Amino acid sequence: MAKKDDFDKIDSNKDGFISREEYANADKSAGVKKEKLNWFLRLITLGDRFDIRDFWDRLKKSIVEFIILVFGVTVSFGIEQQGGDSDNREDGIENLQNLREEIDKMIAYTDVYIEQVNWVTELYQKQYDKWEVDNDSVFLDYQEDEEEEGGKFYFAPMGMYVNRDPFNPPRVNFDAIKLDGTFRLMPKEVGLKMTEIYDGTELRYLIENTGVSEERYVRQFVDRIANKWVYDLPWVDVDYNEFWIENRKYIQNDKFIKYNLYKRLDLWEYSIKDQLQLYKKSLVESTEMLDSVIAVRDSEFEFIWWVLNPKD
């Protein structure tokens, strides 16, 4: 009652004095004494009286403070989370660009491999076509070389028959982004295309045909030499041109070796070559699709935590 506001409330007639009647009325308006309350109201009552108006005022104040606290925590958490999402998005765009660069390397690798297969196929097709020719040099070929005597370097193609080069394009970035969320930045069809060129049937067939399938023919060739030639011929060394000259009639009569060459040529000509062209086509298509995705992502900008795209 010491405060002026409290005095003014009790002095209802504003005469500057508090009468007994005014004091009694003030005592009634101050609420119910705590001793007269039930256990629950006594539990939530501050002081020695319970005033319903004061209770509702405090309740509303507490609710407002609680809402402000919850809102502040939610906003703070949202900003932190969106900040992390923003960092992940930037990393994802960088991964897309790295993926695009790697596909360019895959195309370059495939182009070189196509040239190599074409050269090898032509070389061994030439050998197969002249297999029956009656000439001691039938198993020799040459390349122009100014440093060699006569300007030609002679070699035996069948002496290099064991050489293989399984198809294995660079594909590191795809494995790295499969689990980091980069795929969510791509439309579904683009993601499927990326999976196709990195882990699809075209690539698997190429790896198998240039790996396991070719190795089978090479192994048969090596086994034939080890299990038959070494017993029939006085000496065997496929790295020397003289071996192919001295034993050319024996080798010409070995139909197993000729058939082995035929099957390997068939694999190159009618499987691997076609698969390489199809795979390169898929790679080129994937670059076009990926370029469109990167262009869209590069055009976006962030406002607070909203991603805005002027192209939409």
Residue 265: the pLDDT is: 99
The DSSP result for 66-101, as a single string, is: HHHHHHHHHHHHHHHHHHHHHHHHHHHHHHHHHHHH
Averaged pLDDT of the chain = 81
pTM: 0.70
Q: Which residues pair with 143 in a beta bridge?
A: 153
Q: How confident is the model at residue 247 (pLDDT cuts 50, 70, 90)?
A: very high
Q: How confident is the model at residue 52 (pLDDT cuts 50, 70, 90)?
A: low
Q: In the chain, what are the domain boundaries?
A: 94-162+172-308
Query: H or E stretch including 257?
Result: helix 255-267
Alpha-carbon span 248 to 238, nearest angstrom: 12
Query: H or E stretch including 231?
Result: helix 230-232
pLDDT at 188 over 80: yes
**Which residues, including other chains, have CB under 8 Å from residue 276's CB and lie 6 or more apart?**
110, 113, 114, 117, 167, 206
How much of the chain exceeds pLDDT 70, in percent? Answer: 68
Q: Which of 177-181, 197-201, 251-255 has the lowest mean pLDDT?
A: 177-181
- 62-84 mean pLDDT: 60
pLDDT tens-digit readout, 79-117: 444 444 444 556 567 888 889 999 999 999 999 999 999
